[in-house]
Each structure stands twice: as structure tokens, then as C-alpha cells.
Amino acid sequence: MTNAELLAKTLEAIKKYDKKPDEKLAAAIVKNYALVLRRADTALVSCSDPKELETVRKNFLIKKLGLKESGKLYEAIEKVCEMMKSERRKSRAVFYYLLTKEFGKEKVFV
């Protein structure tokens, strides 16, 4: 799957949560995580797996977005899990997009 195809798929999925998605942000996330998004075992986020959520917290929220350790990180992850609960297969790109918007950290990517 090309980056353009990944982006189109991601934007379509984001529209369920954001009627007017930030296309630059979505494109930047897809570009940054293209390799991860192409692999079946890493393209999705499992909200029922505590290890997975810890990885999102450490590697995405703290390392990538530069956020400080706090309870707000867990709250935001729980909020996005709740938003996406109707989706059995939660796209990592959409999950990261929603977290980025939640913390207003779009400038990290664009």
C-alpha cells in the first residue's frame, strides 16, 4: 500500500471522529509511521492490552509529542479508546491523530 493509499484510508476513518480533518496532520502522521502502518501486527492499537497502551503512552505521547508524565496521559488514552470503542480494529494512525488533537500538539508534525 502506498502512502497516498494509506492517507486516503486514514482520512476516511478520521472523518468518523472529526468532520473536517486536518489533512496536513494526517499526512504527517502517515508519513512518520508508514512502516508501522503497513504491518498487520503494528497497524492497530488494542485498548484491551495494557502493554500496548503503555507503549502508546511512552513512545508516542512522551517521546514523540514531548508531553510530561501525568495522569492526563492515561485519561487521554482512555478517552480515545472510548471514542473508538465501536471499532474492533482501531487504526494506529487514527488513534495517534486523535491523541495529537487532544493535546493540541499538531506543530510536532507540521
d(CA 23, CA 10): 10
* Domain locations along the chain: 3-108
Q: What is the pLDDT of residues 16-47, one digit of tens each?
A: 999 999 999 999 999 999 999 999 889 999 99
Alpha-carbon distances of 103 from 3, 19, 62, rounded to whole Å: 25, 18, 12
d(CA 26, CA 35): 15
Which pLDDT belongs to residue 9? 94
- Element housing 44 (H / E): strand 44-45
**pLDDT reading at 110 higher than 80:** no
82 exposure class (CB count in 10 Å sphere: 0-12, 13-18, 19+): exposed
Class of domain 3-108: mainly alpha
At residue 60, what are phi and psi to the nearest 5 degrees?
-100, -55
How many other β-carbons are positioned within 10 Å of the β-carbon of residue 74?
13
State the chain's mean pLDDT as an integer: 95
Whether 100 and 25 have beta carbons less than 8 Å apart is answered as yes
pTM of the model: 0.95
| Across 64-79, average pLDDT | 96
**pLDDT reading at 96 higher than 90:** yes
Which pLDDT belongs to residue 3? 86
